[in-house]
Structure 1
Amino acid sequence: MSLLWPKPWQKQTPTDSSTDNRQRETMIIPHEQLSDSALRGLMEEFITREGTDYGWVETSLERMVEQVRGQIERGDVVIVFDPATESVSLLTKREARELGND
């Protein structure tokens, strides 16, 4: 399954010299630190996000949740928190590396 979604972390935010640089850095959140209901809610929001494309075949929400959960558990997809926007998103490991999160 290929995951495509909007990339809110690429939006430009105004630079304010009084802003603490640490607040502009994203953080990877281990999925084990989320409750089952919080993780499921995050996955469902990600899956149903406008602009997400899963291809030509219609797949149930439950099946997509299972696929995304597998990608998270394998470490192919990570949970990223952006303190500047106070938002959470799912990124591929490669995308997270590009942001400086190893």
Structure 2
Amino acid sequence: MIIPYRQLDNDTLNTLIEHFVLREGTDYGGLDMSMSEKVCQVIKQLECGDVVIVYSELHDSVNILPKSEVLKNPQ
């Protein structure tokens, strides 16, 4: 189930994104980026619709996934 990010409290959204960034260990190449910069990048991706927040009832988990991946594999 896709959760509209605008329906989440700002603190909840930021915490979710921070956990996502830490869990994913995203490679930013030679760039040294702060946590707040990484969070801002994910927020921009949510705003433009490149990624979405997905809740899995089966796994009782929340994740941030590319929208194209979610559309290919609807649950």
TM-score (normalised: structure 2): 0.90
SS at 1:49's partner residue? helix
Of all paired residues, the percent bearing the same amino acid is 45
Question: What count of residue pairs does the alignment treat as equivalent?
Answer: 75
Larger Rg: 1
Look up the match of 2:41.
67
Look up the match of 1:85.
59
SS at 2:42's partner residue? helix
Runs of 4+ aligned residues of structure 1 deviating over 6 Å after TM superposition are none
Paired with 1:77 and 1:87, the residues of 2 have a C-alpha distance of 16
Alignment pair present for 1:31 and 2:5: yes
List alignment gaps of at least 5 residues for structure 2.
none
Give the helix-richer structure, 1 or 2: 2
Alignment of structure 1 residues 41-52 onto 2, 5 Å? 41-49=15-23, 51-52=25-26
Structural RMSD (CA): 1.4
List alignment gaps of at least 5 residues for structure 1.
1-26
Alignment pair present for 1:96 and 2:59: no
Paired with 2:24 and 2:50, the residues of 1 have a C-alpha distance of 22
